Structure 1
Amino acid sequence: MTYVLAVDDDPAILRTLTINLRARDYEVVRAADGRSALQVVDERMPDVIILDLGLPDLDGVTVLRRLRAFSQVPVVVLSARHDSDDKVEALDAGADDYVTKPFDMAELLARVRAAVRRSGATDAPLVIESGDVRLDVTERRATRAGQEVRLTPTEWHIVEVLGRRQGRLVRQAELLHEVWGPGYDRETNYLRVYLAQLRRKLEADPARPQMFLTDPGIGYRLVT
Structure 2
Amino acid sequence: MKILMIEDDQKIIENVDLILKIAWPDICFLASKRADGGIKLFNKEKPDLVIVDICLPDTSGFEVIKQIRSMSSVPVLILSALAEERDVVRGLELGANDYISKPFRQMELIARIRNLTRKSVFPDEDLSIKSQNIRFGLSIRQIYYNESEIQLTRTEGRILHKLLQKKNKVVTYQELSNELWGDALQTAIPSIKVYIKHLREKLGDDSLSYKIIQNIPQVGYMLVDQADR
TM norm structure 2? 0.50
Could you say which residue in structure 2 is the equivalent of 1:18?
Answer: 17
Could you say which residue in structure 1 is the equivalent of 2:8?
Answer: 9
Equivalent-residue separation in structure 2 for 1:19 and 1:108 (angstroms): 12
* CA shift for structure 1 position 49: 0.8
Equivalent-residue separation in structure 2 for 1:18 and 1:53 (angstroms): 19
How many matched pairs? 119
User: Does structure 2 conserve the Cα–Cα contact (< 8 Å) formed by 1:73 and 1:119?
Assistant: no
Equivalent-residue separation in structure 1 for 2:6 and 2:120 (angstroms): 20
Could you say which residue in structure 1 is the equivalent of 2:56?
Answer: 55
Equivalent-residue separation in structure 1 for 2:30 and 2:5 (angstroms): 6
Structural mapping, 1:184-195, within 5 Å:
none
Structural mapping, 1:57-72, within 5 Å:
57-72=58-73
SS at match of 2:118: helix
Structural mapping, 1:64-143, within 5 Å:
64-117=65-118
RMSD value over aligned CA atoms? 1.3
1:43 and 2:50 aligned: no
User: Does structure 2 conserve the Cα–Cα contact (< 8 Å) formed by 1:74 and 1:119?
Assistant: no
Structure 2 letter corresponding to 1:41: F
Equivalent-residue separation in structure 2 for 1:37 and 1:31 (angstroms): 5
Shift of the 68–119 alpha-carbon distance from structure 1 to 2, 3 Å rule, reads farther
Equivalent-residue separation in structure 2 for 1:76 and 1:118 (angstroms): 17
Structure 2 letter corresponding to 1:16: N
Structure 1: runs of 5 or more not aligned: 121-224
User: Does structure 2 conserve the Cα–Cα contact (< 8 Å) formed by 1:35 and 1:57?
Assistant: yes
Equivalent-residue separation in structure 1 for 2:41 and 2:60 (angstroms): 17
* CA shift for structure 1 position 105: 1.0
* CA shift for structure 1 position 93: 0.6
Could you say which residue in structure 2 is the equivalent of 1:147?
Answer: none
Shift of the 73–102 alpha-carbon distance from structure 1 to 2, 3 Å rule, reads same
* CA shift for structure 1 position 27: 1.2
User: Does structure 2 conserve the Cα–Cα contact (< 8 Å) formed by 1:21 and 1:27?
Assistant: no
Could you say which residue in structure 2 is the equivalent of 1:28?
Answer: 29
* CA shift for structure 1 position 118: 5.4
Shift of the 14–72 alpha-carbon distance from structure 1 to 2, 3 Å rule, reads same
Structure 2: runs of 5 or more not aligned: 122-229
User: Does structure 2 conserve the Cα–Cα contact (< 8 Å) formed by 1:74 and 1:115?
Assistant: yes
Structure 1 letter corresponding to 2:107: A
* CA shift for structure 1 position 4: 0.5
TM norm structure 1? 0.51
Q: Which one has a bigger Cα radius of gyration?
A: 1
